[in-house]
Chains A and B, each alone.
Chain A
């Protein structure tokens, strides 16, 4: 296997993700509180890992580049799929809050409502450019 920048990047970020996730798991097992400081770096690193394994460079010929035509198509398609996954997760979080803990999280309700409006609203704004 040719060690391209993409593979090196993925290996480095992947290792960092495993270390941070392992540290978080260790804290959980030791009964220590786990919060923003542990979960956010794991999420950021995991996101960077997927970015590293997805995109290549035309020079190295190891995958589509983010700024080329296919890259833009992949990004657009993924954005729409991600949006609906996020809506599903927000609704699931609302349902869990209500049924499992019998409480209403106002911030979560507002964010879910905003999430349901933001796509049609943005489409409306963008469509105005083509009138």
Chain B
């Protein structure tokens, strides 16, 4: 599933490490999601959306 995490992260001037810490996961998890290597769970998708100040709908698109 495509996502806008990288763009929104850069827009908010947040590093992968910072976003990872905000969501309670490792930097590698954020990197894997950004590069579409795996789809996050619903729980993590909501955490990411909340951390980036958008809705899940805005963050992910099929």
Contacts and interface: CB of A to CB of B under 8 A. Distances in A.
Interface of A: 56, 58, 61, 63-65, 68-70, 73
Contacts of A65: 26
The DSSP consensus for interface residues of chain A is loop
Interface centre among B24, B29, B32 (most CB of A within 10 A): B29
Interface of B: 17, 20, 24-29, 32, 38, 40-41, 44
Contacts of A64: 26, 28-29
8 contacts: A61-B17, A64-B29, A68-B25, A68-B26, A68-B29, A70-B26, A70-B29, A73-B38
A64 B17 CA distance: 12
Contacts of B28: 56, 63-64, 70
